[in-house]
Structure 1
Amino acid sequence: MGGSDAKTLIVLRHAKAGWPEGADDHDRPLAARGHEQAPAAGRWLRENGLVPDGIVCSDALRTRQTCVWVCEQLGELAPTPYLDRRLYEADAARALSIVNETEEGVRCLLVVGHMPWVQNLGMRLMSLDSDQDAALAMTEHYPTLGLQVFRVDKPWAELDGRDAALTHFVVPGR
């Protein structure tokens, strides 16, 4: 594993959300702290040379707002995000099926979503050659703005389980 054909999958949980009175879950905005922390994810990606050429984002307000902050930090390198309603209230299998739809020309894919599927997807995908410290950190606690980075050595459509190496789990800005 790890050849020159390797692709990158980045799975990002949205930043800290608020719960204003009368708002349903889908329409929950980022809290003030979320607006402060979300740009750190875009900076971390840029500083680590992980600029996505594809972004799929849940259509919930808090994920869209997180994505806007990330794209602002990526600047002109940011691709236009695709909003996918199926990522809202998805489970890991549904989220993976959306990743499987990615065109092979996409070399670095960012998926922005929600608990619990972001963590469950990570646990499903982690191969035996994953970074053990990153794996332990991700499985023990997955806070808002938690970000997983996977090396993918097969076509997106064939990604199924235990077949992507987790290389990083970070919470940018912490």
Structure 2
Amino acid sequence: MASDAAGSGAAGGTHRLVLLRHAKAEPAGGVDDVLRPLALNGRRQAGRVGAALAHSALVPELVLCSSALRTRQTWDLLAAHLGDVAPEVVVTDTLYAAGVRDVLDMVRGADSRVRTLLVVGHEPTMAATAAHLAGPGSDSGALAQVRVGVPTATYSVLESSTPWGEWDGAVANLSYVGRPSS
């Protein structure tokens, strides 16, 4: 699925962007949307995403995470499955109501030494960002999925040798869209 280009710390090489929609949250039920916690099933989903990312060598060096409770919980639960790593984690209000341009601005700000970057956010932005970045060499099934949106706990993997600062439309290969079984 994904090549293991991480580790050298040198500029150049493959950059991998993983766009993750948060795991299943509790219904609003009178709670402010930003404060909705993960449902029990969502907690299980988050752990399975972490295990899948670790198994695929998609361990991030930088995590950009929405400040919403459900995204922070998703990150915390999946991180427990990544082994003994300590990526830089940026929790930001910007990702809560972000559009594609907002996500791209954040991605473009990543240090060139970062090989794998994880964004934990919301729909429709995660799928729309993947569709925007997907170039002509992308997997057709993965592209079809992100064009219609993705369910909770779904991650899209994009790869490119283009430096983060130059990421924009059709710059990457969308190689995979994954969702652990519930």
Q: Which of the five TM-score ranges fits, normalised by the shorter chain?
A: over 0.9
Q: Give the equivalent residue in structure 1 for 2:51.
A: 43
Give the counterpart of 2:174 among 147, 166, 171.
Answer: 166
Cα deviation, residue 41, structure 1: 0.7
TM-score (norm 1): 0.93
Query: Hey, which of these two has a bigger chunk of helix by percent?
Result: 1
Give the counterpart of 1:83 among 65, 82, 91.
Answer: 91
Q: Does 1:59 align with 2:67?
A: yes
Write the distance in 2 (CA, Å) between the matches of 1:173 and 1:73.
Answer: 16
Cα deviation, residue 167, structure 1: 0.6
Q: Does 1:142 align with 2:150?
A: yes
Alignment of 1:1-174 (within 5 A): 5-173=13-181
Cα deviation, residue 141, structure 1: 4.2
Contact preservation (8 Å) 1:41, 1:173: no
Q: Which runs of 5+ in 2 are unaligned?
A: 6-11
Cα deviation, residue 139, structure 1: 2.1
Contact preservation (8 Å) 2:124, 2:149: no
Q: More deviation in 58-67 or 72-81?
A: 72-81
SS in structure 2 of the partner of residue 145 of structure 1 = coil
Q: Give the equivalent residue in structure 1 for 2:9.
A: none
Identity of aligned residues (%): 37
Cα deviation, residue 78, structure 1: 4.0
Q: For the aligned residues, what is the CA RMSD?
A: 1.7
Letter in 2 for 1:122: A
Contact preservation (8 Å) 1:26, 1:61: yes
Runs (4+) of structure 1 exceeding 4 A deviation are none
How many residues are paired up?
A: 173
Contact preservation (8 Å) 1:51, 1:78: no
Deviations 1:16-48 (A, max 9, x none): 011353311111111111012110111001111
Cα deviation, residue 127, structure 1: 0.3
Q: Which runs of 5+ in 1 are unaligned?
A: none
